[in-house]
Amino acid sequence: MEDLAQSWKKLSLTDEEKTNVDLSSDKRNKGSVLAAKFFTRRSLNIEAVARTFRPLWQTRSSFEVSDAGNNVLLIAFELEVDAEKVLHGEPWAFDRHLVVFQKYDGSTPIQELRFTTTNFWVQLHNLPYSLLTTEAALSLGKTIGVVTKPKDVSEMRGGNFMRVRVAVDITKPLCRGRWVTWDQTEKGWVSFLYERLPNICYWCGHLSHDDKDCVLWLSSKGTLTADDQQFGPWIRAPQFNPVRRSVIAVQGFEHPGRQGKGVSANTGTTQGGSEAGRDGMTQLRTVDLTESPVSSHMETDERCSGAVNGREKTVDGGVLS
């Protein structure tokens, strides 16, 4: 088809064929279009693609999927917000193979599109506690690619590691980490682990093909062993749930402007602390901070019952039984 489109320059056109048709005014498709490259050698079934992504994307309005050839699909959304939602949810995979999306304005020939980057959440492990900061995470992320800073920076903290959202260049092997200088005399290795990582070649670290299709493996004629692999399952990050916080901020009893006592987490606030019971005993509320949200109306009886790890405990005379 591309050769046919270029061959008109060699042809003698008729008067009718020379007539120019103006389509620049209002005849373009409205909405937002994403071009998607599927990095698989299998032929695509667009019906299967639509069935797979529809429940995952949960778009507000309809979208249309069309085959552009060479494992590229054009997905036209009626609402731009649906297209942005898809891009915000990267990375995506189909049948465990990477799918790379990019906005498409329709003016560039499909054959000239270059699918080179996709966004990943990258976990940064082995940082010392003093460097578990947003600034350190952003600096390390910039060594991988273009960084997107979330509105809620608490999403970047994972307890004993940091997270950063980076546009990763998939034409290169995945970056496994960086040597980082802690201070003037000490340095260490920071490991990069990738969340929701699809199929990756353990020989060369590329996302565009599997182990069996790697040039290194094919050229070795089967002589390579698992010990020769430069990548492995260890590059996959463990599942991370941003809703279940790993870090909370606890307010002090003399916090400025504070009227009550309690523990403040980014998922809720429990007021109360300790109170004097009518019988002179100290009533204690034990709060499981791992639950979200935390109830602010937990009831205690005169024998000071509290919920600990989902089981009822009783404080009697200051002893937790």
- Which is nearest to 205 in space by CA: 229, 222, 227, 185? 229
| pLDDT at site 30 | 64
Domains and CATH numbers, the chain: 27-112 (3.30.70.330), 117-235 (no CATH), 262-320 (no CATH)
Q: Looking at the whole model, is its pTM more than 0.75?
A: no
Please, what's the b/e burial string for 236-272 (b: 16 or more CB within 10 A of its CB; e: otherwise)?
bbeebeeeebeeeeeeeeeeeeeeeebbbbeeeebeb
d(CA 128, CA 318): 39
* Count of residues making up the chain: 321
Exposed, middle or buried, 168 (CB in 10 Å: 0-12/13-18/19+)?
A: buried
102 pairs with which residues across the strands? 35
284 pairs with which residues across the strands? 274
| pLDDT at site 70 | 93
Exposed, middle or buried, 71 (CB in 10 Å: 0-12/13-18/19+)?
A: middle
Q: What does the pLDDT profile of the chain (321 residues) look like in tens digits? A: 556 556 667 778 787 877 888 777 655 566 799 999 999 999 999 999 999 999 999 999 999 999 999 999 999 999 999 999 999 999 999 999 999 999 999 888 999 999 999 999 999 999 999 999 999 999 999 999 999 999 999 899 998 999 999 999 999 999 999 999 988 888 999 999 999 999 999 999 999 998 989 999 999 888 999 999 999 999 999 988 877 777 888 889 986 655 544 444 444 444 444 444 444 443 433 444 444 444 344 444 443 334 434 444 444 444 443
- Which is nearest to 245 in space by CA: 204, 202, 304, 292? 292
Beta-carbon-side half-sphere exposure of residue 241 (alpha carbons within 13 Å): 7
Angle at 183 between CA 121 and CA 245, to 5 degrees: 35
| pLDDT at site 239 | 86
Exposed, middle or buried, 29 (CB in 10 Å: 0-12/13-18/19+)?
A: exposed
d(CA 38, CA 73): 8
